[in-house]
Amino acid sequence: QRVEVPAEVIVDPKFSSPIVNMTAPVGRDAFLTCVVQDLGPYKVAWLRVDTQTILTIQNHVITKNQRIGIANSEHKTWTMRIKDIKESDKGWYMCQINTDPMKSQMGYLDVVVPPDILDYPTSTDMVVREGSNVTLKCAATGSPEPTITWRRESGVPIELATGEEVMSIEGTDLVIPNVRRHHMGAYLCIASNGVPPSVSKRITLVVHFPPMITVQNQLIGAVEGKGVTLDCESEAYPKSINYWTRERGEIVPPGGKYSANVTEIGGYRNSMRLHINPLTQAEFGSYRCVAKNSLGDTDGTIKLYRIPPNAVNYVENFEARHKGKKRTKSSESHHPARAQEHSGEDMENPGKRKADLSLGAESIDSIYGNSAAGSRRRQDLGGVLLLLLPVAVAVAMSLATAGVMRETQMTLPPQTLTHV
Amino acid sequence: MRWRHAVRATFTSTTATESSPLIGKVISNSRAPQIAHEMLVEYFMALLVIMGLTAPVDKQSRRSSQYFGHLAAAEELSNLIPDNYDAIDPVFDNTTDREVIAALGTTARLHCRVRHLGDRAVSWIRQRDLHILTIGIMTYTNDQRFLARHIDNSDEWVLKIVSVQQRDAGVYECQVSTEPKISLAYKLVVVTSKAQILANRELFIQSGSDINLTCIAPQAPGPYTHMLWHKDTELVSDSARGGIRVESEQQMKTSNLVISRVQHTDSGNYTCSADNSNSDSVFVHIIKSEQHAAMQHELGSRLLLPPLPLLLLAVLLVVLLGPTSSLQIRTPLSTR
């Protein structure tokens, strides 16, 4: 017998081109396209390879994943769409034609995630003692894995352990051994992986150290009847209180012929100046500039001596000769000086000596407390401003509605009206 | 004296200066809380008024809604929940066989049971190449040997594989289209099973003798195997002629065929077949009676042979024993 050949000839379908891999950021839509030639009566399906999940068959979405969609153009271009993609959508996807044997090809969807800095184990603001070792840590997530770069704020270079200075350094850990006061400041940890936006975190490094005094001129001569200025420089953090004392430890009183001021030079440096005008016999002698903070105290000594009015030439020559001298004193050597001070006291009045010491302590504490109170006042003002804004808006709205109330002739409890 | 007086004056003025910041501090501490408190009270009162005024426009309902605001909120919440929300997730019935053994060329069935299916679809996938086989009752693959079977309103979705091939062995997945999907893996094992008759391919049996044929099918899949005997193309049964008996042990996968006092008509091709197995055959030839008589003659001649050797042995013994005894008697006398 002869079998009749059907008129229609079915051609085997094939893929016209490979699936183009796609890279998309998390949260956006992704598309994978499968181009088929001579599909005929066959069907096209999309699957997720690693989870072996059927996604679509022809125009039907099989999965209940609401983010999956399918579209085709003339049964040739079959585009699967994934909305609002997540990182878990990353992987291989298969386009399949139900020939026998079946044909398939795969495409890769890469999901990239912008960097995000983790709160842990990233370092927070640090307060350390000078001389200790510091490690600033920064950890970030993202896809691809982000690169961590450290910088200092305002273009200040970073000093490496080798002493070399660089503008930036890569790595999750920034190690600063034997931290010094000039390391103090804001450090920026910058995480980037090529997917915008890059993120950064600001970590403040505070270095605590006891006060240090530098005296440019330790011996100053002046003519009686004229004015003179004594000058000291101090370094300290936390910020120190600075004042002047005479030989016996009494604090130089502000006002009158004495005028003292403290000027901030840098982040932790201050300039102390004491003006004395006019000079009498009582003002000549030793002066001590003192700096004190929670970690210790130190002082510098300046000796003021009297020059006769008729020795002008000698005075100029003397100043030029001694100008280059410097004296630096640390807090460790302060106690021997104080001991010496005690030996100089008048032994006839022991009660008076105790009174002097206690009064000095009170005055120091009160001055220190004053600056603390100042900072508190600023915080209170900020809080009040925050409260003012919503209250003002509420009052304005209530006034507007009050007008509407009159038109509608509505009556409210008198207590409420009083408040409005 | 003058110096001492100057020192006292210094201390007094210092004390006066120090006390003034403390006074300022006290004032600032007491003032801020009061201001904040008053502002907060006014803020909340204003909020209450605004909330009351944003009630519905209707004058009558406006008053009542102020007192029954909670009820209105509850009604709004109930509208958000749709009535047809299907909260039950599909779940597999794990009692079905997850490993199926099929013989080459036979039909295999994989049974998948899913409860609370809802609007989800049940699909079968071949894990080897992720080939989709069936979705619901629709066959996706063009390999016509794969079919989906499902009875309406039942929980069972069956993948039927006709004429199982060796390449069909592997893992098949029953998948439900939830998000994320749930699935159950099934393993299909394909065996080549063949019945075997424990005898030569050709047997020559004397007419009138008995025939006992044993057939085994140890590799047949399943716990029980039904086995049959055919003579040429006809099923062997007792009704054909008396004296034929078939003894089968389905659990042992063994079958015995016994035919008593064979005749010439019993010659033929005997075939043993078992479920899901290839069959085996032997050909039995029945030898005529002349050959039978000749064999009897041979047996008779054999019976005559045994007596002769015995007689010879007896004669030899008599001859050997006589001379030996006489020699022994003479030897002792000569020595004396």
Tokens of A253: 């009183």
Q: Under an 8 A CB cutoff, do A52 and B131 touch?
A: no
The strand pairing partners of B115, in sequence order, are B91
For residue A283, give how far its alpha carbon lies from the nearest alpha carbon of chain B (Å).
12
Is B211 a residue whose pLDDT tops 70? yes
Q: Within 10 A of A193 (CB to CB), how many other CB atoms are there?
A: 18
DSSP secondary structure, A247-297, as one string: TTSPBPPSBTTEEEEEEE-SSSEEEEEEEE-S--GGG-EEEEEEEEETTEE
For residue A212, give how far its alpha carbon lies from the nearest alpha carbon of chain B (Å).
26
Residue A286 vs residue A161, higher pLDDT: A286
Chain B positions touching A384 (Cβ under 8 A) are: 32, 35-36, 39
Q: How confident is the model at residue B97 (pLDDT cuts 50, 70, 90)?
A: confident
For residue A278, give how far its alpha carbon lies from the nearest alpha carbon of chain B (Å).
17
Residue A372: closest C-alpha in chain B: B25
pLDDT at B297: 46
How far is it, in rounded angstroms, from Cα B92 to Cα A167?
62
A366 vs B18, B131, B132: nearest CB: B18
Size of interface A-B (CB pairs under 8 A): 132
- The rounded mean pLDDT for chain A is 79
Pick the most confident of A1-10, A150-159, B251-260. A150-159
Chain A positions touching B183 (Cβ under 8 A) are: 52
Q: How confident is the model at residue A372 (pLDDT cuts 50, 70, 90)?
A: very low
pLDDT for A10-30, tens place per residue? Answer: 788 989 999 999 899 999 899
Supply φ then ψ for residue A368, to 5 degrees: -65, -45
For residues A189-197, average pLDDT: 94
Could you tell me which of A391, A208, A247, A232 has the C-alpha nearest to residue A300?
Answer: A232
pLDDT at B110: 93
pLDDT at B69: 43
CB-based contact, B141 to chain A, within 8 Å: yes
pLDDT at A80: 94
> What amino acid occupies position A349?
N
Pick the most confident of A6-20, A257-271, A326-340, B33-47. A257-271
For residue A376, give how far its alpha carbon lies from the nearest alpha carbon of chain B (Å).
9
Could you tell me which of A349, A271, A340, A334 has the C-alpha nearest to residue A298?
Answer: A334
For residues A284-312, average pLDDT: 88
Q: Under an 8 A CB cutoff, do B28 and A373 touch?
A: yes
Range of weakest confidence among A93-97, A110-114, B111-115: B111-115
How far is it, in rounded angstroms, from Cα B51 to Cα B67?
12
Range of weakest confidence among B16-25, B81-90, B261-270: B16-25
Where do the domains of chain B lie, and which CATH numbers do they carry?
91-191 (2.60.40.10), 196-287 (2.60.40.10)
pLDDT at A316: 54
* Chain A interface test: which of B19, B40, B53, B163 (most A C-beta within 10 Å): B53
pLDDT at A75: 85
pLDDT for B272-306, tens place per residue? Answer: 988 778 788 988 988 866 544 554 444 444 444 44
pLDDT for A46-63, tens place per residue? Answer: 999 989 899 999 988 999
How far is it, in rounded angstroms, from Cα A326 to Cα A309?
27
pLDDT for A260-283, tens place per residue? Answer: 989 988 889 899 989 898 898 898
